Amino acid sequence: MKIGIPKSLVYWKRPYFWENFFENLGFEVLLSPRTNKEIVEIGVKISDPETCFSCKVYFGHLKWLEGKCDLIFVPRLKRKGNSEYCPKFFGLPDLAKILVKTKILTETFDEKKERFEESLVKLGEKLGKNKEEIKEAFEKALIKEKEIKAKQEKETLEKINSNSKKIILISHPYNLYDEYVNLRIKERLERLGVVPIFIEEIPNSKSQIPNKFQIQNSNLPSFHWEFAKEIMEKIDFILAKKIDGAIEISSFACGCDAVLKEFVEKKFKEKNIPFLYLVIDEHTGEAGFQTRLEAFIDTIS
């Protein structure tokens, strides 16, 4: 049996985890390719015109997988701890069922109601596996995930502590890691002689954050979105270090970012750190994008 995974949106919340998990269970996994023009075009064509660009890309990936595998895995991510994922994730399996004919494999992950591991067991049981097999597959996948994550974080910390010019890139992982969507921003910045740091790769343990930099500002709402909480905490961490500039990337029509941007921008402006806000969608032109990046880099040097 072949399980398809769209390499987009929710995938990037835990990259490498899902394919490892299913492979450990003994299934063949088909990942959709990295986002390309064709995928974006199909996605834009089949999605609601007012949904966010990231969802459109995701639906493009779904469509690419259609007919190429037996099941397509679309998890319903609801809560991580007490915080919620983006509400657009809640309805993904239902929308996927409307869009593609291939059967959708799904399971709800609501950690406030049920431990992640328990939801995984339910998912595995749907595929005819027993508890032991599932737990083993999960632990193996987790170890691998931790290894990758630890390596990333180590490298990032080295970057943060280096003396070169550093730019923090603030966005959702599905924008940061999808090079087609973000127009290879990392590469572009490196060529301009600065070191880009992904906010996603900054370690997220509160102990890392000096106490005085933890969120105290009463003007700041306490976010109920997991990513918003994490991003705000990590910004406090990075602000305690030396940083030369910040770039926030939003996909067009992202409702959560409309909220987040207001507070992210404020944080950097208060510290007089140059801040650039970029909105990406299927029409973002390379030339204009490059011009803005160059101009921004000029302002910080």
Partner 1 sequence: MKITFPYWGNYTVAFELLAKKLNLEVVPPEKTTPRTIEKGVKIAPEMYCFPLKVNLGNFLEAIEKGADTIVMPTALGGSCRLRYYAFVQDKVLKENGKNVNFVIFDQSLDIFSKLKKISGASFFKMIEATIFTLKALNIIEKLEKKAQYLRPREIEKGDTDRVLISAFRRMREIEKFSELLKFEKEIMKELNQIKIKRKKVPRVGILGEIYTVCDHVVNFEIEKKLGNLGVEVHREMSLLYHLKKKIFFKDFFIQRKIKPYLGSTVGGHGRDAIYEMLKYVKKGFDGVIQLLPSFCMPETSVRPILEKIHQETGIPFLSLSLDEQVAEAGIDTRIEAFVDVVKNYYQKKQKT
Partner 2 sequence: MKAYLGIDVGSLTVKFVLIDKKGEVLYWNYERTGGRPIEAIQRELKKLKEWIENHNPKIEISGVGTTGSARYLAGVIVGADLIKNEITAHAKGASFLVPEVRTVIDIGGQDSKIIILENGVAVDFAMNYLCAAGTGSFLDAQAFRLGIPIEKFGELVLKSKKPTTIASRCTVFCESDMIHKQQIGHKVEDIVAGLCEGLVRNYLSNVAKGKKILSPILFVGGVSENVGMRWAFEKALGQKVIVPKYNKVMGAFGVALLVKEHPPQKTKFRGFEISDMDIKCDSFQCKGCPNQCEVIEAKMNDKIIARWGDRCGRWSNLRYD
Closest approach of Cβ 23 to partner 1, in Å? Answer: 27
Residue 24 to residue 189: CA distance in whole angstroms = 37
Residue closer to partner 1 by CB (options 76, 129) is 76
Interaction pattern, residues 183-222, with partner 1; x per rule: CB under 8 A: ------------------------------------xxx-
Interaction pattern, residues 34-53, with partner 2; x per rule: CB under 8 A: ----------xx--xx----
Q: Please, which residues have CB within 8 angstroms of residue 5's CB and are 6 or more apart in sequence?
A: 11, 18, 19, 22, 29, 30, 31, 32, 65, 72, 73
Q: Which of 7, 56, 61, 78 binds partner 1 (CB under 8 A)?
A: 78
Residue closer to partner 1 by CB (options 1, 220) is 220
Q: Which of 31, 157, 195, 259 binds partner 1 (CB under 8 A)?
A: 259
Residue closer to partner 1 by CB (options 33, 221) is 221
Amino acid, res. 61: H
C-alpha distances out from residue 172 to 46, 122, 128, 153, 229, Å: 23, 28, 34, 17, 12
Q: Please, which residues have CB within 8 angstroms of residue 137's CB and are 6 or more apart in sequence?
A: 21, 22, 24, 25, 124, 129
Amino acid, res. 95: L
Contact 242, 166 (CB under 8 A): yes
Give 11's DSSP letter: G
Where do we find the tokens 């402006």? Answer: 269
Residue closer to partner 1 by CB (options 78, 166) is 78
Buried b (16+ CB within 10 A) or exposed e, 58-96: bbbbbbbbbeebebbbbbbbbbbeebbbbebbbebbebb
225: closest CA among 183, 191, 254? 254
Residue 166 to residue 195: CA distance in whole angstroms = 5
Partner interacting with residue 29 (select from partner 1, partner 2, none; CB below 5-8 Å by kind): none
Closest approach of Cβ 46 to partner 2, in Å? Answer: 8
Interaction pattern, residues 100-139, with partner 1; x per rule: CB under 8 A: ------x-x-------------------------------
Residue 240 to residue 168: CA distance in whole angstroms = 13
Partner interacting with residue 271 (select from partner 2, partner 1, none; CB below 5-8 Å by kind): none
Residue closer to partner 2 by CB (options 211, 287) is 287
Q: With contacts defined by CB under 8 A, name the span among 32-40, 142-150, 234-242, 249-257 that binds partner 1.
A: 249-257
C-alpha distances out from residue 226 to 61, 87, 212, Å: 24, 11, 22
Q: With contacts defined by CB under 8 A, name the span among 95-103, 116-124, 232-240, 291-299 that binds partner 1.
A: 95-103
Q: Which of 216, 218, 287, 298 binds partner 2 (CB under 8 A)?
A: 287
Q: Using CB under 8 A as the criterion, which residues of the chain lie in contact with partner 1 when the complex forms?
A: 47-48, 50-51, 76, 78, 84, 87-88, 90-91, 93-95, 98-99, 106, 108, 219-221, 224, 250, 253-259, 261-263, 266, 279
